[in-house]
Amino acid sequence: MERSEYDKLDRVEDQMWWFAAGHRNLLMLSQHRVSLEANDRPILDAGCGTGGFLARLATWYPDRTLLGLDSDQQACRRATAKSARPICAGSVNALPFPDGVFAVIFSADVLCHRNVDEQGALRQFRRCLAESGWLILNLPAYRWMLSGYDTAVHNTRRYTSTTLARLLKATGFRLIYSTYWNSLLFPFMVMSRKLFSPGGVRVTGGVALHPLPVDAVGRAATALETILLRAGLRFPFGGSVLAIAAKEDATDG
């Protein structure tokens, strides 16, 4: 991302409802959909940005070895300060780690970036995962939803659950679970990005805090969604896609 977007991300990721919901859903999946007890290897946040999610991981897994990776040196420094965990400067296109070292790799909104080779990055994730390891992804949904926000943060791809499943299979993974989320607010997302932004391409400044009433609605809607996801419901559409994948010879727990 642009340095200015990292600056904004560092300021807002601990306050904005969307980040709170995304982090909560990733952590919920790690506790309810995968089995970590038999694998005490490290956990990687691949594309950790300024460290908001890694800091949340540290509170949920205080006894696990956690690492972050980001391509931006300044983001790495901020992530180190925020998470108190070691951060490696590097690219997901060529992970600087040995084979089979990680129990879990989280990657939130990284494969969609213009400088990422999505198939190459997934093959790197597979190489660095242990045989019983898990890949947990969050990605923006629907190519037709590309907008000024995506332009600002250098997103060039958005996904459906079907295209993501095909991509994972092509790179040696087996899809274990997927669902959309940010579904209750999705109609408003469509209106704000497509109807009120002519052509859906106007740059609107990337990440930013919303007014308090909007933030409150966002938190309430996504909190309800997390409860429903935890109970086993899968949403058929939404602004983002969540997925868990394993190597072909791994079990789904």
What pLDDT, in 10s, does the model give residues 13-53? Answer: 888 999 999 999 999 999 888 877 667 899 999 999 999 99
Note whether residue 252 is domain-resident: no
Rounded percentage of the chain residues whose pLDDT exceeds 90? 72
| Domain housing 85 | 3-247
Rg (CA), the chain: 17
Q: What is the mean pLDDT of residues 116-141?
A: 96
Helix (H, G, I), strand (E, B) or coil at 239: coil
**Position 48: which residue type?**
C
Range among 1-5, 85-89, 209-213 with highest mean pLDDT value: 85-89
How far apart, in Å, are the Cα atoms of 244 and each of 20, 107, 114, 192, 253?
19, 11, 23, 29, 11
Note whether residue 27 is domain-resident: yes
Q: Report the CATH number at residue 189.
A: 3.40.50.150
* Total of domains in the chain: 1
Distance of CA 28 to the CA centre of its chain: 13
Where helices occur in the chain by DSSP H, the ranges are 3-12, 17-32, 52-60, 73-83, 118-128, 148-152, 161-170, 186-190, 212-230
Note whether residue 253 is domain-resident: no
pLDDT at 3: 64
**Residue 153 structure tokens:** 């943060």
Note whether residue 178 is domain-resident: yes
**Residue 220 structure tokens:** 């309430």
Model confidence, pTM: 0.90
Q: What is the mean pLDDT of residues 99-108?
A: 96
